Every structure is written in C-alpha cells, then in structure tokens.
Chains A and B, each alone.
Chain A
Amino acid sequence: MKYSIFSLIHQAFRQQQDWKPAWREPEPKREYDIIIIGGGGHGLATAYYLAKEHGLRNIAVVEKGYIGGGSVGRNTTIVRSNYQEPGNIPFYEWSLKLWEGLEQDFNYNAMMSQRGVLNLYHSDSQRDEYARRGNAMMMHGVKADLLDRDGVRALVPFLDFENGRFPIQGGLLQKRGGTARHDAVAWGFARGADSRGVDILQNTEVKQIRVENGRTIGVETNRGFIAAKKIGLAAAGNTTRVAETAGLRLPIESYVLQAFVTEAIKPLIPCVVTFGGGHFYISQSDKGGLVFGASLDGYTSYAARGNLPGVEDTIEEAMAIMPGISRVRLLRHWGGIMDMSMDGSPIIDKTHIDGLYLNCGWCYGGFKATPGSGWCFAHLIATNETHPNAKALRLDRFATGHVIDESGTGAQPNLH
C-alpha cells in the first residue's frame, strides 16, 4: 500500500481499520543469496538499496531483537555532513543528499527537518579551526557559514554568551543539516525492503557465521541454519562478537554512550546546537522534548546503560551554554553500545573471507550515515567493488597508515 493523502482519506472513511502491517513476519527460508546480519538502520538500508538499486530480491535481514530496538532507535537523531577529512566528506555529503530525497524515495514520513547544525566556538583558535573545517567542506562543495557572535545571537539568543569560562564567540553553521525521526527511518527502510521481497527476520540471533574453505556458507541462528553465499555484517556494537565466530579480529572496541530527553516545552531551540568547550549536542524534537547527549562513558561496555558521572558531565556542559534549561526535568536517559573504531571513522569493506562483508566502526555518528552507508554497502555486496564515495573507509587502512582521524587522538577509542 502506497501512503499518500488519498490512502489517509480512504482510511478515515473506514475507521482506520484497513491499515496493513508495514512489513511481514516471514518464516526463514533455508537459503538466501544475501544475508544481512543486523536489522538496524544500516542493515535495513543496505537491504533496501540492494533490492531497489541492484534488483536483488532473495535477501534476508537477520535481527536478534526487533526492528528499531537498537541504536537506530536510541540516538539523538542528528543529520549533517560537516566533516573535515577528505576521506569522510564525500561519503557523508552523499549520505546527506540521500536524506534530502529519502521520504519520497521510500514513501514514508521520516520527519526530515533541515533546521541547521550550529557548532559553537569559544576562542580565537577554535574559530580558526572551524574556519578551516568550513573551508575543507566548501572545497568539497558543501556549504558552510561561519557566524560571528551577533550571527549566533540572532539565531539562538538564549545562550549564555558571557559565560566566564566558555564565552561564545560565534559558530560554524551547516544549514542543510538537521534532524530526522530516528525510528521512522528504520520503519521506512524496513517497509521499503519488505515490499520488494526482502525477508525481515526479527528475534533471530546469529550464533555463528559458518566458513568453509575460506568462503562463507551461511549462519547458524537460534532458528536453525540459514545458507547464504554472501553475508553482510552490520551489527554495530556487537560487531566483534559476531565477527569473532568467523575468526575475524577487528580494530573495534565497544563503549556505552548515553542520551537524554526532557519533558516537552514550547519551541525554544530552532536548530541543532553543539558546545565547543567539550562535547555536547542538543536539539528539540517536534514533540517539544529537548534531546541531547555528550561523550562516551569512557570505558569498554556492553551494558546498555550508563553511569552517573556521564550524566553529571553532560548536564554540566548543558549548563555552560544554556543555563535557562536548568529547571527542565529529564524524562528519560538511556545508553547504547557503540562500535568505536581505532581512528573514529567507519569501515565499509570486504574481509579476507570470501563472501563476508563488513560495515562497522560507526562510533557514535552512525545515524546520519544510515542511507549513505546502506547505499555504499549494497554497492559493495552487489558488485564486489568499493563505492567511490566509500573508497577511504577501508579495513586495511590501519595497516597501511591511511587512518581517518577527525579528532587526532590516535588509537584510543574512548577519546574519539
């Protein structure tokens, strides 16, 4: 069923009784051409583009939980392409271009809102650094605006401009950045893939990737063995656990990241605002809640919950730029598991095992990459060749020295 104004009117006259589930609950077949491990945003986007752009149909997405229950439903929904490193910009810009046409493309309201992403700077040297980043973006055809203090004041007048320690001097604005409704993105991709014949297998956990003679032959799951010639691994925080069943050792460590949402208030924050004195980002959802987050908790973890020092740190950063929200009550906070790579940039590549493809290392920036990652990973799986926009995101870059380290912190994932 295509969603449109006509389907809405039609349903209105039928007391909304005729809506069909957005995707099926099929029994697993014994064999598929391609299995994608991980039914998060990236896995579903990959299946969607494999079906839509490459005409492949015999595909399964295997998800241990339910669709939208992992990181794709646990993030701060920010979409942007304001990167600096030459290996990253073309990829993220391609992803943002896909975001811009996504809702029409998969016929689902993902509430994509290009409200702008504003990175605040608090010192002269930081201004120079942001100017450099803006220039790097513009050299790749991505528009960036460097605002002075008055420019920021016109946009977000309620910030603490005279903060003693972190006075706000200005900001770098990417107007095309913004937010999207995170779980609608997962649902839209799931529905789009399902309608093209992809089987989405929820509550199906991969226990082992079976490899024979250097080739993948399928996966052992809690619902039995499923054969496949090609396997795409998009398991985010659990990447290394699944990969190690195929004997792969990866440059990935898993950390917990917390996110927060407050009670709904009237419209206050018109764009995404990030704090330059630490690492803090905030936006306001369409429901009115303030959605924000900060850095990792700092130690490796698979427990999908954070600890209180992380909460304290985040709130302190919020107070440094927005003391006005100090009395707003927190509704929820939660933690998710991040696949942190050793240089802070992702990996979309083949492995030394024939038929096993890898999509991981998204750190805590995976949401904005969802369509671009799916597009490039689908291209890699379908054609066996790296997509031009992901040509720097190689697994062997750590061995060859071509790391893409945006923050310049080296192989210390808790600092990225």
Chain B
Amino acid sequence: MRIKCPYCGERDSQELSFLGQADLVRPDPDGTDAQQAFHDYVHIRPNPAGVNRELWLHAHGCRSWIIVERNTLTHAISSVEYASPRFREKAQ
C-alpha cells in the first residue's frame, strides 16, 4: 500500500503510522451528557466496510498528520489531505 503524502509525495505505508477514525469530535466535558458522549468518543467506532476517513501520521517523513480516504474492502486510496485546516488552505 502506498500513500501520497501531500508534502512528501507517494510513500510506502511503512513510513506512516495509523491512528484510526478521522473526524471524531471531542465532546464538551461540561455537557450534560458528557459521560455517555465520552464513552462513545473513546470506544464506539463506525467501522465501515467501504470508504473510510482515517488519520495517519507520516512518522518517518515530514511528520504531518494527514487524513486518508481509503476503501477498507480493497485498500484503494481515493484522497489524501492535511488534517490541519491551516495546512489544507495553504496547500490550495
């Protein structure tokens, strides 16, 4: 599997480290349902069979956090972008 890092270009996936599901939003600790919300945030995953958005760290490269859109059935990668909105804007 090769991943096209937005900064370094196409690299072997061994250079990158997988964190997991992207777009998980940390709940408000002062919210009324904080306990349930944190349980869901930490433990519950969508785990789709198909296209998924996930966070990878280019650990042995530019050390950017990137969001990879990857099909979990085929391992085909459809898009890669910086995780940080600031870098995303810069790149455009």
Contacts and interface: CB of A to CB of B under 8 A. Distances in A.
Q: Assign chain A's interface to a size class.
A: 20 to 34
A101 interface: no
B47 A399 contact: no
Given A307-B1, A309-B14, A414 B73 contact: no
B72 A254 contact: yes
A250 B44 contact: yes
A214 B42 CA distance: 26
A303 interface: yes
Q: Is the interface of A mostly helix, strand, loop or mixed?
A: mixed
Contacts of A411: 42-43
Nearest to B70: A299
A249 interface: yes
B21 to A, nearest CB: 8
A309 B11 CA distance: 13
Nearest to A241: B49
Interface in B7-59: 12-14, 18, 20, 35-36, 39-40, 42-47, 49, 52, 54
Given A241-B49, A307-B1, 11 more contacts: A241-B47, A249-B46, A254-B49, A300-B20, A300-B47, A300-B52, A307-B13, A342-B42, A342-B43, A399-B39, A414-B20
Interface of B: 1, 12-14, 18, 20, 35-36, 39-40, 42-47, 49, 52, 54, 70, 72-75
Interface of A: 238, 240-241, 249-254, 298-303, 307, 309, 342, 398-399, 411-414
18 contacts: A240-B45, A241-B47, A249-B46, A250-B44, A251-B43, A252-B45, A252-B47, A254-B72, A299-B18, A300-B47, A302-B49, A303-B74, A309-B14, A342-B43, A398-B39, A399-B35, A399-B36, A414-B20
